Structure 1
Amino acid sequence: MSQELAASLLNQTMWLAGQISGRMQEALDRLDLTGPLANVLWLLQPDADPLSLRAIAGLLHCDPSNVTLLSAKLEQRGLAERRPHPRDGRTRTLVLTEAGEEVRERLLTTVMRHSPLAGLTLEEQEQLHALLAKAIDNA
């Protein structure tokens, strides 16, 4: 890869990340969420197997005690509940409540609607997704 291409790719990536981050902050403010709480909401997919608190900590690259604190905040707001894992009762999971699913959907919808990625076609979004996944896997 040439130096010019590498610099341009990094510049574009940083610009895009800045745009998405700024628009995400607007959505977080409207929903009265912090970045860390939103990060947990992103991870809790309603139709997926529940994630253990330890798995969430691993995905967020943070200490499990941080996830315990974030879980408690989400529970206080009625957005999530800590429950035993359905197949291993010794493991605690975090599951979205109905209100949590609604807030997560509003967050995703708002960020995507106002994201620079919204101007891409579905096919282009899928191509970008595949390329970013490959870059992440190479890391």
Structure 2
Amino acid sequence: MAVDELAASLLYQVTALAGEVAGRMHDGLARLELTGPTANLLWVLDPDAEPQPLRKLAVLLRCDPSNISLLSAQLEERGLAERRPHPRDGRVRTLVLTAEGRNVRELLLAVVARNSPFAHLDDDEQLLLQSLLAKALTER
């Protein structure tokens, strides 16, 4: 297979996979009363890590900071997260999960694991795929 054909095939597979994931997640997200974007934000809010500035969350999710403000407000309205000053720089705003947000995030992760197209891969295969995807996402 030519290099261009291989690259096109890989991109097709990744795009198809993204569509498959979105389809499989739809019902689970609906049960949790989350949209795709709010679920993505909830997902990246690691309750065990230092709170991230809102601007950093925008970079992680590859969106405009104004979108993070809107999504943050939606999570706050549901009582899932709170905007707070950064612990080391009070001028910077962060988003922190509430206890309810931690619970919903755990349910979200369970939905993801249960509906994952990777569930049939064994642990070694999943680790290899994770490593390859991480490399693909960091190489620019």
Same fold (TM over 0.5): yes
Asked whether the 8 Å contact 1:28–1:34 carries over to 2, the reply is yes
User: Where does residue 48 of structure 1 map in the other structure?
Assistant: 49
Asked whether the 8 Å contact 1:19–1:115 carries over to 2, the reply is no
Structure 2 spans left out of the alignment, 5+ residues: none
User: Where does residue 66 of structure 2 map in the other structure?
Assistant: 65
- Residues 20-69 of structure 1 deviation map (CA, whole Å, 9 limit, x = unaligned): 11111221111111111111101100101101111112222222222112
RMSD: 1.6
SS in structure 2 at match of 1:119: coil
Distance between the aligned counterparts of 2:12 and 2:76, measured in 1? Answer: 39
SS in structure 2 at match of 1:61: coil
User: Where does residue 108 of structure 1 map in the other structure?
Assistant: 109
CA deviation after TM superposition for structure 1 residue 124, in Å: 1.0
Distance between the aligned counterparts of 2:71 and 2:107, measured in 1? Answer: 19
CA deviation after TM superposition for structure 1 residue 84, in Å: 1.1
Asked whether the 8 Å contact 1:52–1:92 carries over to 2, the reply is yes
2:138 aligned with 1:137: yes
User: Where does residue 91 of structure 2 map in the other structure?
Assistant: 90
Structure (1 or 2) with the greater helix fraction: 1
Runs of 4+ in 1 over 6 A off after TM superposition: none
Quick one: which amino acid aligns to residue 92 of structure 1?
A: R
CA deviation after TM superposition for structure 1 residue 13, in Å: 2.0
SS in structure 1 at match of 2:95: strand
CA deviation after TM superposition for structure 1 residue 4, in Å: 4.3
Distance between the aligned counterparts of 2:6 and 2:37, measured in 1? Answer: 33
CA deviation after TM superposition for structure 1 residue 7, in Å: 3.9
SS in structure 1 at match of 2:127: helix
Asked whether the 8 Å contact 1:57–1:63 carries over to 2, the reply is yes
CA deviation after TM superposition for structure 1 residue 88, in Å: 1.1
What is the TM-score of this pair, normalised by structure 2? Answer: 0.90
Report the count of equivalent residues.
Answer: 139
Structure 1 spans left out of the alignment, 5+ residues: none
Once the two structures are overlaid, the 10-residue window that deviates more, 10-19 or 36-45, is: 10-19
What is the TM-score of this pair, normalised by structure 1? Answer: 0.91
